Amino acid sequence: MGSMVEASCECGYEGTFPIGGGMATFQEECSFPCLCRQCKRVVDANLLTKLACPTCGSENIIPYDQPELCEQQGSNVVASWSFGGQNGRELQLTDGLYFCPLCDTYRLRFFEGDVCWD
- The pLDDT of residue 8: 96
- The pLDDT of residue 80: 82
- More confident of the two residues 80 and 35: 35
Average pLDDT rounded to a whole number, residues 4-11: 95
The pairs formed by 77-82 with CB atoms below 8 angstroms and a separation of 24 or more are: 78/5, 78/110, 78/111, 78/112, 79/3, 79/5, 79/19, 79/110, 79/112, 80/19, 81/2, 81/19, 81/20, 81/21, 81/30, 81/32
pTM metric for this prediction: 0.87
Q: Is the pLDDT of residue 76 over 80?
A: yes
Q: Is the pLDDT of residue 84 over 80?
A: no
- More confident of the two residues 90 and 24: 90
What mean pLDDT value characterizes the chain?
87
Q: Is the pLDDT of residue 77 over 70?
A: yes
Average pLDDT rounded to a whole number, residues 55-77: 95
